[in-house]
Each structure stands twice: as structure tokens, then as C-alpha cells.
Amino acid sequence: MSDWGPVFVAVILFVLLSPGLLFQLPGRHGCVEFGNFQTSGAAIMVHSLLYFALICVFLLAIKVHFYLVWIWITGYAYFIADWLSSLTDKAAASNDSGGVVHVLL
């Protein structure tokens, strides 16, 4: 089981916050421009600060985790189900799960 939460959050935020792709803050001719596919030094700085702030919120404050479980042979399905139930039992027994988002894919 591997934690892919930081990878998915970083890639999605990188694509969404690329200056000029969806929006540009500050724009060349106004405060905000949408979909102009251009950039400037100020926009790169603002978007990188937004990226850093949102990465900190999602990974440090919200603690997003994606756990990928790969099942190679169907004969191990019972073992995987038993293993997953033991994980949920451990998570329910610990009181440290407050505010943590766990997604099992």
C-alpha cells in the first residue's frame, strides 16, 4: 500500500494553477484574465505563492491520503479483504484520525 495523495494533489494543482491556462492573476490588461495562454513574471510569482499555500493546506492541514492497493491474482482477494478490514480496525482503534482524509482506490 502506497500513499499517492501528495502526488495527485501536486499534479492537479500544478495543472490548474499554471499561469494563463485557466486564469492569470494579475493579467496583462486587467486584474484577472481567463484562458489567454500568456504569462508574465508577476503572474508566475502569484501563481507559485498560491500553489505553495494550497499544497500546505491540502497536505499539512487536511492531510489528504490516497492508498492504492494492487491486486495481481484473484486468489489473493480474500487476503486483501482481510488486510483491509484490519486496517479499518486499526484506524477505528486509534484516536489520531481526526481531520485525516483517507481514500482507498
Give the burial class of 44: count Cβ atoms within 10 A of its Cβ; 0-12 exposed, 13-18 middle, 19 or more buried. Answer: middle
Q: What is the mean pLDDT of residues 38-52?
A: 94
- 3-state SS, 22-42, equals CEECCCCCCCCEECCCCCCHH
pLDDT digits (tens, 9 = 90+) for 53-95: 999 999 898 888 877 766 555 555 545 555 555 555 555 555 4
Domain ranges of the chain: 2-104
Local confidence band at 28 (pLDDT 50, 70, 90 cut-offs): confident
Q: What is the CA radius of gyration of the chain?
A: 20
- What CA–CA distance (Å, rounded) separates 75 from 103? 24
Sign of the torsion formed by the C-alpha atoms of 17, 20, 22 and 24? positive
Contact by Cβ (8 Å): 47, 31 = no
CB 5 within 8 A of CB 62: no
Per DSSP bridges, beta strands 64-68 and 101-104 are parallel
